[in-house]
Each structure stands twice: as structure tokens, then as C-alpha cells.
Amino acid sequence: MMRAVALLLVLLAALSAAAEERVVVGLSEDAIAISTDFTGSELLIFGAIKRAAPPPPGRLDVIVTLAGPSERVVVRRKARKYGIWVNDQAVEVDAAPSFYAVATTRLIGDILPDTQDLRHRITTERMIRAVGLPDDILDRDAFIEALVRLREAEGLYGTFPGAVTLREATLFRTDIAMPANLVEGAYALRIFLMRDGEVVDLYETDIAVEKVGLERWLYTLAHERPFRYALLSLFIAIAAGWLASAAFRLLPG
């Protein structure tokens, strides 16, 4: 009985210590507008760690993740057959974020144990869900790695160790660059407060990314009125061709 009471007291003390630290966050903007001249954006994330008592012992770290809407992706592998390169095998990934950035105070391998990564799905590879893959594909991880490499090259995925600045174990900030080719939707922001490899607090919010102006009108027309969009595209093509022809006729021979 006494042993159970002692264990309960230890557990309550641990929970109380974890509850002493909370993340308070501010953003440079809580919505991003995609217009015709949109060339990308940089999101400033800053905040502080609120405490009701002196900080407990242990190394403090911060992990910031920003994930775009998930989508299905088909990853194909090419093979050389009969002297030409052709699509050989394909894997359909059930859910992969259209954009994913991870910013940390240190190397993520020094901060994040595998158990915490499994639970919270923080690293890029863990955020990608691929289930029901064909049994004849033995190197399934290679397809996930290929998807990550391709999107890193496009500026859509990235892991940035040391990008989060932590001052006096209280104030932190980071900047996340968002490219021009963003997908519209809600982008999930998560901020993990880590102490000695354990998540002691988690802050979550969404950032809206929306098309505005002419971009919004064209997007809506293409998806909700495809016939009208096709007619408009045909009219623009004919008009552009006629104007180019008229311009050439006016040039001196």
C-alpha cells in the first residue's frame, strides 16, 4: 500500500513539473494570401516559455513543424529495359503533406527519441503514411525517401537544425520560408517543448493559405465551372493568336 502511495506521489510530482512549463506563441501572420504576384512568404514564429516556478533540471529544446494539407501521391521508379528508361514499379502513398518544414534548436537526432517521434509523427518520414503497399516491393522505404528528396529539391520539404533560437531558456524564434507553389488549405503549426527527450508541452494552431483576387476567381472557375473555364481559355488563345498575327502584319517588310 505504502509503495503504491509513493508511486502515486512521484507521478503527481512529475505531472506538476511538466505543468510548470507552457508555450506562449506569436505569429507574424495567421493567414497567407496567394495572389497573381505571389512569390512566396516567410513566416516568423516567436514565443516564450511560461513558468509558475523555477525551471526543472534538464536540457530544454524546441521543435517547430509546419505541415500543409495531406494528399495522395504516386511514386514511380524507372528502370532501363530494352535500351530505354520506362516506369517499372509504383507505390501509392496514402497521405503525404504537400508542404512540411521542421525547425529545431539542435540536431533532431539529439533531441527526439524514436518513441516520441512514433507518438507525435514529427520527422518528415513519419509524417508520410503509406499503408497497403504491394507485397512484391521489398524496399518500400526507398520510395518514401525518393518522395522526400524530390520535394526537398522543390523547396516543399525541409529539416533545419539550429533554426530555432532559444535565449535564456525562455524566449525562442524561428523563420520558415514558404515557396510560391503552395497548395491552398489549412497549414498545421505545432510547437513541441522538449526537456531531456520528453515532450512537456505542445502548442497547435492552423494557418490559412488562400487564393485571392484573380487567382481565386480562376481557381473557382476551373473547379466549379470547367466548361466555362475551357471556353475562356480557348477565347484567350484565339485572341492572343490574332493579336500576334496582326502585330506581325504591321511590321515593315
CATH number at residue 100: 2.60.40.3880
Confidence band, pLDDT 50/70/90 cuts, at residue 231: low
pLDDT for 215 beyond 60? no
- Residue 120 belongs to a domain: yes
Residues 243 and 154 in one domain: no
Q: CA nearest 184: which of 33, 30, 28?
A: 33
Q: What single DSSP character describes residue 207?
A: E
Give the domain range for residue 223.
Answer: 212-253
Instruction: Select the more confidently predicted residue: 217 or 88.
Output: 88
Residues 129 and 241 in one domain: no
- Residue 130 belongs to a domain: yes
pLDDT for 213 beyond 60? no
In total, how many domains does the chain have?
Answer: 2
- Residue 195 belongs to a domain: yes
Q: Which of 33-37, 96-100, 123-127 has the lowest mean pLDDT?
A: 33-37
pLDDT for 35 beyond 90? no
Of 5-19, 82-96, 178-192, give the range with the top mean pLDDT.
Answer: 178-192
Residues 180 and 242 in one domain: no
- Residue 122 belongs to a domain: yes
Confidence band, pLDDT 50/70/90 cuts, at residue 17: very low
> How do residues 134-170 score in pLDDT, each as one tens digit?
555 556 677 788 889 989 999 999 999 999 999 988 9
At 163 the pLDDT is 96
Secondary structure element (H or E) that encloses residue 55, with its range = none
Residues 242 and 177 in one domain: no
Confidence band, pLDDT 50/70/90 cuts, at residue 199: very high
Share of the chain above pLDDT 90, in %: 38
Residues 148 and 108 in one domain: yes
At 18 the pLDDT is 47
Q: Which of 71-75, 77-81, 87-91, 117-121 has the lowest mean pLDDT?
A: 77-81
Residues 226 and 197 in one domain: no
Residues 105 and 216 in one domain: no
**Average confidence (pLDDT) over 58-73:** 92
Residues 110 and 233 in one domain: no
Compute CA 63 distance to the chain's CA centroid, rounded to the nearest angstrom: 13
- Residue 172 belongs to a domain: yes
pLDDT for 4 beyond 50? no
Residues 141 and 57 in one domain: yes
Instruction: Select the more confidently predicted residue: 173 or 51.
Output: 173
- Residue 216 belongs to a domain: yes
Residues 144 and 33 in one domain: yes
- Residue 30 belongs to a domain: yes
Residues 198 and 216 in one domain: no
Say which amino acid occupies 152. E
Say which amino acid occupies 162. G
DSSP 131-196: -S--TT-S-HHHHHHHHHHHHHHTTSEEEEET-SEEETTTEEEEEEEE-SSPPSEEEEEEEEEEET
- Residue 8 belongs to a domain: no
At 235 the pLDDT is 66
Structure-block grid coordinates of residue 77: 521508379
